[in-house]
Amino acid sequence: MKIAMLGSGFIARFYADTLHDQRRKDRIHLVYSRDEHNAKRFADDYGLKVFTTDMEEAINHPDTEVVLISLPNHLHEAAVLACVKAKVPVLCTKPLGRNAQEAKRMLEAVEKAGIFAGYLEDLCYTPKFLKSMKSIQGGSLGRILWTKSREAHPGPHSDWFWDKEKSGGGAIIDLGCHCVEIGRNFIGKQVKPLEVMCWADTQVHPIDAEDHAVGLVRYASGAIGQFEVSWTFRGGMDLRDEVMGTEGTIWLNSFLRTGFEMFTTGKGEGYIAEKAESNSGWLFPVGDESNELGYPHMFTDMFDAMETGREPLETFYDGYVVNAILDAAFLSARTKQWEPVALDIWRGEEVTEHAASVQDYDSDHLLIKKEILPNGDVKLILKNKKTGELSQVVN
């Protein structure tokens, strides 16, 4: 695939490093930037013959086979609609829109045009996440009850992120989109999100948007998806996920503490890792940053899906659902109460809440818990089916 890159900043470079690494066959052939100097610099750095400050020229270039949007949030819709007009496949970075209505317009436009559209949610493609999903889908954790996803760092790298109108919000739109979609995957995308309770505040930075938030998403299966996001965390970037089911638990640490630690006095120079705040003392480098963040698996899925005619794992529809959940989170942060998730388009199941899992001990009792005590005894906690009386048996 010959790719037209829209954008020349931080995320565009992460994408380009991934796409041009290790003899991958899909290559960027041109770059568009609103700034001519940045466009030329990007083109020089990645050996591109063509750069432009005209977005439609980039999209409609005769060699362009797919467009990759790595622009600020407020420019996503215009770029997607330009791709629709040109009938060119499009991949868009997260979040899809600044709100659900913006995302819905993009979703409906690409579907009406019949073009391929992929949602670039990289943290749903990390090696640890993909391995976890196989275990969950194989039944190793049983019914999923609760998930928790945390992303926290000292704040984003570009000025537009801090502008509420351009970004659509603060830490919730920037980081919550990752956390919510991770939770949706763990719980099951077919399970409908019902309502959200969210606390948010501006604790540190002199901005109009929130720089710290914690939220709960309640799903129709009874599961709860919890997210924690912050632009106030000091010490690097903290990416952690947890998922708990009736039969097991998974803990993931994708960044900051991954088993690679280094101490230095700071004499040397060099890049440590995304959002690292220091180059001295105890540091936490990342062995293969693009891989740890999921970019290679993400692009492999996208281009394989394009070639075979299937949907990618992350679609514009997923981006729309995420935006709808985040809209409810923003509203809840203002009202201080549970707010419903407004989904004009829902393609999953209308699942009713599951009853508690029960296991018979005998014809008269349910088994609540079985435990081996320090002395080797086995204790059983039982409940009488008729009377509800609780008892215990020690063997």
Tell me the per-residue pLDDT of 80-111, one tens digit each, with 9 for 90 and over.
Answer: 999 999 999 999 999 999 999 999 999 999 99
Confidence tier at 3 by pLDDT (50, 70, 90): very high
Any idea of the CA torsion for 308, 309, 314, 315, to the nearest 10 degrees? 160
Q: Give the range of the structural domain holding residue 370, as residue numbers without chain letter.
A: 365-394
Confidence tier at 4 by pLDDT (50, 70, 90): very high
Q: Is residue 385 part of a domain?
A: yes
Regarding whether 221 and 102 lie in a shared domain, the answer is no
Q: Is residue 61 part of a domain?
A: yes
DSSP-assigned beta bridge partners for residue 347: none
DSSP alpha helix (H) spans, 200-261: none
CATH number, residue 99: 3.40.50.720
61, 94, 123: which is the final residue of a domain?
Answer: 123
Regarding whether 231 and 329 lie in a shared domain, the answer is yes
123, 139, 169: which is the final residue of a domain?
Answer: 123
Q: Is residue 194 part of a domain?
A: yes
Regarding whether 158 and 282 lie in a shared domain, the answer is yes
Q: State pTM to two decimals.
A: 0.93
Regarding whether 137 and 119 lie in a shared domain, the answer is no
Regarding whether 135 and 32 lie in a shared domain, the answer is no
The per-residue b/e assignment along 143-174, b for 16 or more CB within 10 angstroms, e otherwise, is ebbbbbbbbbbbbbeeeebbbeeebbbbbbbb
Confidence tier at 262 by pLDDT (50, 70, 90): confident
For helices 177-187 and 127-137, the axis angle rounded to 10 degrees is: 30
Q: Is residue 243 part of a domain?
A: yes
Regarding whether 281 and 165 lie in a shared domain, the answer is yes
Q: Is residue 380 part of a domain?
A: yes
If you average pLDDT over residues 354-369, what whole number do you get?
Answer: 86
Give tens-digit pLDDT for 13-72: 999 999 999 888 999 999 999 999 999 999 999 999 999 999 999 999 999 999 999 999
Regarding whether 153 and 256 lie in a shared domain, the answer is yes
CA distance 195 to 335: 13
- Total structural domains in the chain? 3
Regarding whether 210 and 78 lie in a shared domain, the answer is no
63, 91, 123: which is the final residue of a domain?
Answer: 123
Phi-psi sector, 23: left (phi>0), alpha (psi -120 to 50), beta: left
Regarding whether 171 and 116 lie in a shared domain, the answer is no
Q: Is residue 390 part of a domain?
A: yes
Q: Is residue 229 part of a domain?
A: yes
If you average pLDDT over residues 230-245, what whole number do you get?
Answer: 95
Regarding whether 166 and 63 lie in a shared domain, the answer is no
CA nearest to 339, candidates 347, 351, 327, 348: 327
Q: Is residue 352 part of a domain?
A: no
Residue 308 CB partners (closer than 8 Å, separation 6+): none
CATH number, residue 196: 3.30.360.10
Residue 243 CB partners (closer than 8 Å, separation 6+): 132, 136, 141, 144, 146, 147, 148, 186, 249, 250
Regarding whether 89 and 55 lie in a shared domain, the answer is yes
Indicate whether 352 pLDDT > 70: no
Indicate whether 238 pLDDT > 70: yes
CA distance 387 to 209: 54
Q: How long a stretch of residues is the chain?
A: 395
Q: What is the pLDDT of residue 287?
A: 83
DSSP string, 64-114: --EEEE-S-GGGHHHHHHHHHHHT--EEEESSS-SSHHHHHHHHHHHHHHT
Q: Is the peptide bond before 95 cis (omega within 30 degrees of 0)?
A: yes
Regarding whether 95 and 131 lie in a shared domain, the answer is no
Give tens-digit pLDDT for 202-211: 999 999 999 9
